[in-house]
Structure 1
Amino acid sequence: MRIGRIGVSAAAGARERGTAVLWIYRSDADGRLETVPEIERNTWVHLVDPTEAEIGRVAGALGLPADFLHDPLDAEERPRVEKDDAGVLIILSVPYPTAGDPVPYRTIPVGIIHTRDVLVTVCRQDHPVFRAFTAGQVKGFYTHMKTRFTLQFMFLVARYYLHYLNDLNARIVEAEAALQRSMRNQEVYILLNINKSLVYFTTALKVNRGVMQKLTRETYMKMYEDDEELLQDAIIEMQQALDASDIHSENLSNLMDAYAAIIQNNVNTVLKILTALTIILAIPTMIASIYGMNVPLPYQDSPYAFPVLMGISTLVGLSTGYAFWRMRLF
């Protein structure tokens, strides 16, 4: 089973330019990955944002339904496991940092396809988890061990969720410190965007966990005892990430509620002060308004009228202010 494919140098150039690419890897006897020009038995076909032509060539060569390769490219696709005569499709949601987006992290679907002789992965982006495999950072990985790759991939995805959750928690602490110094809208928007990332994470982690638990109940791929232990470890890591996401979400929700209450209390305090000042100034204003009328008034011809009226106004204002202070309106 072979199809024509871009050479190694062309694939590397495409990686640098960020265009749609397809890599074909094969492990040597020592476990080192090497790129090969054609799909062969026991190879790993890795597609990143593939074109329709690439999808058609891979699907035709491996006898896969085109939907197996199209579905992971849909940003709204939910994690699931699907099996037919051509192979097994496993879709997981993986986290990734955004660039130029107010929301720091989002999730993206990744497809892992098991055929009889070839492993296929499909994603819209070249995620760091894949680069961990291609860089030789994952021990015990061989391209012919499709089940082991899938379980190791799940475990690493859970680790990335935990890593990004730690970063989100640090951002929350930083925004909280900024809010304590000032009540600007910018920090509130930062917290809202972090909350969006946590919502994406929580939703994805719950469905990922369901997919992994389904693999323990039904036979989608052959697993040995070591594989079953690795799957259980991956489920535990995914559950820990879900618990951490829930905790951070609850803490962030409580934090935003607390600051909303603080802001409302500050507004109420300002309104009380303004109301008290208005009442204090209303009495001198009333006296000045009365003596500003163009009608005969008591003591209007007295040389002491102005200082007496000013003294009375000041005394009444101070008395009113003192009464408000006793009532804790200031």
Structure 2
Amino acid sequence: MIQYFKNINHQTIAVDKPEDGVWVNVLPPLRQEEFSNLSEELDIPIDFLTDSLDIDERSRFEEDDNVRLIVIKTPTENNSFNESDAYYITIPICIILTHNQIVTVNSFENPAIKKFLNSFQNRHPDKKNMMVLKIIEKIVQNFLEYLKQINQQRNILEQKLYDSSRNEHLLQMMRIQKSLVYFVTALRSNELLLMKLERSSFLSLNEDEKEYLNDLIVDNSQALEMANIYTNILSSTLDAFASIIANNQNEVLKRLAVITIVLSFPVLIASIFGMNVPSGFEHSPYAFYIVVFVSLLISLAIGWLFLRKKIF
């Protein structure tokens, strides 16, 4: 699906064709014929439009026939039905600067583009560089917001794990850990992209735009640092709970071993007196009670010994 938006008197107006100064937004579902038509109509290399379909596409920029492409990673919620997948993933978004338009291509629903659309009435389509920087700003803001949500989820699950170490909670922690791995990788890639944009003349930024880009680099570095901190905290938490679970398992096995030892002596005594050999108690009316009393006495003595040694 292709959308065309124009800013007229600080109002976002949807139009039917890509006029000059129009923002072209390509959303799923994506069809090859739409890509072909848009490529011919705006004179855009077809590869620039289809690069966003590869979810593993790296952050980069390139130029072909005066058409500039910027690929940057952005976070989004994972709608997978697999319970072992990450809660959040990162997807590429393509920002294409043509002679008269700015084009964005998304392979998934993108919260950053939605935020940009809500503020599009305040943008100036003729200032393409600033529009690109504003889109990047929304992407960085999304990273920060999702990282805060991840940290809140981690705190809640950690408290639940303190109360009961259930596999369900541990699996949820692992899904959060996978999300953080996606975020750290994407933020590092985006950081390199932004630093290259700052050093190169790809966008031909003026002084104000360079200062704005520098602020975005700082914000992206902050998001990367937060992601690294949360990853380290989560890894330490999982290691600590793994040690706690292993220790609890050892305690249970130790108690079972003590119980087995305590019960083995009554079984041994009963087995001895149950043999078909003379024992001296064949005709005694108290034979059964004597065997039970001796068995209980030995079991209590062994149990008391274990309690004294703090083994049980």
Q: By how many angstroms is 1:100 displaced?
A: 4.9
Partner of residue 10, structure 2:
31
What CA distance in whole angstroms lies between the structure 2 residues aligned with 1:166 and 1:224? Answer: 33
Give the alignment of 1:228-243 within 5 angstroms.
228-243=210-225
Within the candidate set 90, 100, 105, 1:107 is matched to 90
Please give the alpha-carbon distance, in whole angstroms, between the structure 1 residues aligned to 2:309 and 2:216. 61
Deviates more, 1:308-317 or 1:273-282: 308-317
Q: CA separation in 2, counterparts of 1:32 and 1:145?
A: 17
Residue 147 of structure 2: which of 137, 156, 165 is its match?
165
Shift of 1:216: 0.6
Does residue 158 of structure 2 align to residue 179 of structure 1? no
**CA distance in structure 1 between the partners assigned to 2:18 and 2:266 by the alignment:** 93
- Please give the secondary structure, in 2, of the residue aligned with 1:92: strand
Residue 41 (structure 2) pairs with residue 61 (structure 1): yes
| 1:32-57 C-alpha deviation (Å, 9 max, x unpaired) | 22122221222111111331111111
Which residue of structure 2 lines up, in the alignment, with residue 122 of structure 1? 105
Q: Which amino acid aligns with 1:289?
A: S
Q: Equivalents in 1 of 2:297, 2:22: separation in Å?
A: 94
Name 2:126's counterpart in structure 1: 144
Aligned to 1:222, the other structure's residue is in SS state coil
Aligned residues: 308
Q: 1:41 aligns with which of 20, 35, 44?
A: 20
Partner of 1:132: 115
Q: Which residue does 1:283 correspond to in 2?
A: 265
Answer yes or no: is the 8 Å Cα contact 1:81–1:90 preserved in 2: yes
Alignment match, 2:65: 85
State the superposition RMSD in angstroms. 1.5
Aligned amino acid, residue 32 of structure 1:
Q
Q: Is the 8 A contact 2:11 2:121 kept in 1?
A: no
* Cα distance in structure 2, aligned partners of 1:168 and 1:191: 10
CA gap of 1:132–1:159, structure 2 versus 1, over 3 A, is same
Tell me the CA shift for residue 139 of structure 1.
7.4
Structure 2 Cα separation of the partners of residues 134 and 163 of structure 1: 18
CA deviations on 1:172-221 (whole Å, 9 max, x unpaired) are 11111221222221111101111111111111010011100100111111
Alignment partner of 1:315 is 2:294: no
Which sections of structure 2, spanning at least 5 residues, go unmatched? none
One of 201, 205, 223 as aligned partner of 1:219: 201
Q: Is the 8 A contact 2:12 2:121 kept in 1?
A: no
Amino acid at match of 2:50: H
Q: Which residue of 1 aligns with 2:76?
A: 96
Check whether the contact 2:116–2:138 (CA below 8 A) recurs between aligned residues: no
- State how far apart, in whole Å, the 2-side matches of 1:145 and 1:35 are: 19
- Asked whether 1:274 is paired with 2:261, we answer no
**More displaced 10-residue stretch of structure 1: 105-114 or 220-229:** 220-229
Q: Give the aligned partner of residue 256 of structure 1.
A: 238
Q: Are 2:90 and 2:183, in contact at CA under 8 Å, matched by a contact in 1?
A: yes
Contact 2:4 2:24 in 1 (8 A): yes
Cα offsets for 1:255-279 (capped at 9, x unmatched): 1111111111111001100100111
For 1:178 and 1:85, how far apart are their aligned partners in 2? 57
